[in-house]
Homo-oligomer: A and B are copies of this chain.
Amino acid sequence: MDGGNSGEAFKRVSGPWSGRESGQVAASVLEASEETMAMRVVGALRDDIVTMVLKPGDVISESDIAGRYGVSRQPVREAFIRLAQQGLLLIRPKRATVVKKISPEGVRQSRFIRESIEVEIIRRVAAHPGPDAASVLKELIAEQETASAAEDSRRFHTLDELFHRTLARLAGVEYAWQLIDDHKMQLDRVRYLTLGVSSSQVAIGEHKIIAAAVAAGDVAGAEAAMRAHLARAELLLSQTIADFPDYFE
């Protein structure tokens, strides 16, 4: 292996790898999207990990990735460090680097964090809904119904994320939402495994209940609806563990 690598452009990754087109998930925390090679490697690897092109347990190496991407080991190494801090890779010094298996306990705790924050967000929004809060949420739900009817689960996922992000913005804590993005990636990996089975109709109904409670200024009702909405993911987790036992530790 590892024959004839240098000189190839970065695009070479499109070979045996990723099949993503262009504008997928909302640009993550990265400010200047593609400044350095290292950043591009980070983005490409993260997408490949979240979309399960690189599967939990896969062993990778600096030389390996560097060869595939046509760059030296240095930027790859820096990318590994970033991804390891985000919990997607596990670097075992002098040994190997592996795509981290999904920790059920970690997912549970990430969900706890998300639920804590989202409940607090929905409280604030319901207590002090802005003038356009109701209309904005209503419009988002309409788009989700369109995506659901077209069975575009990819777009539905994006819109679902946008729904929750919008709530954060309405609460005036959009920046806080970005801060928890890293932890949310653990949940995203699980979610990707359940893309097909996700019952989008149920989710849309729950979104409607939440939006209605917000519009009515019903703090307790909004909180309860949000908790119910988030709790549904708990069932998906245990089912997913049963379906893909090798991906969990």
Give residues in A with beta carbon < 8 Å to B.
35-36, 77-78, 81-82, 85-86, 93, 105-106, 109-110, 112-113, 115-117, 119-121, 173, 175-176, 179-180, 183
B109 touches A175 (CB 8 A): yes
- Tell me which residues across on chain B come within 8 A of A116, comparing CB atoms: 116-117, 119-121
User: Which of B35, B93, B173 meets A112, CB within 8 Å?
Assistant: B173
Given known A81-B81, A116-B116, A119-B116, contact A183–B179 (CB-CB < 8 A): yes
Closest to A174 in B: B109
A120–B175 CA distance with the chains assembled, in angstroms? 20
Closest A-B pairs by Cβ, 5 of them: A116-B120, A109-B176, A116-B117, A116-B116, A109-B175
A180–B36 CA distance with the chains assembled, in angstroms? 28
A179 touches B113 (CB 8 A): yes
A115 touches B120 (CB 8 A): yes
Known: A85-B85, A109-B176, A113-B180. 16 other contacts (CB 8 A): A77-B78, A78-B78, A78-B81, A81-B81, A82-B85, A105-B175, A109-B175, A109-B179, A112-B117, A112-B176, A113-B176, A115-B120, A116-B116, A116-B117, A116-B120, A116-B121
What are 21 A-B pairs at a CB distance below 8 A?
A35-B93, A36-B93, A78-B78, A81-B81, A82-B85, A106-B175, A109-B173, A109-B175, A109-B176, A109-B179, A110-B179, A112-B117, A112-B120, A113-B117, A115-B120, A116-B116, A116-B120, A116-B121, A117-B117, A119-B120, A179-B183
CB distance from A230 to the nearest CB of B (A): 12
CB distance from A113 to the nearest CB of B (A): 5
A35–B93 CA distance with the chains assembled, in angstroms? 9
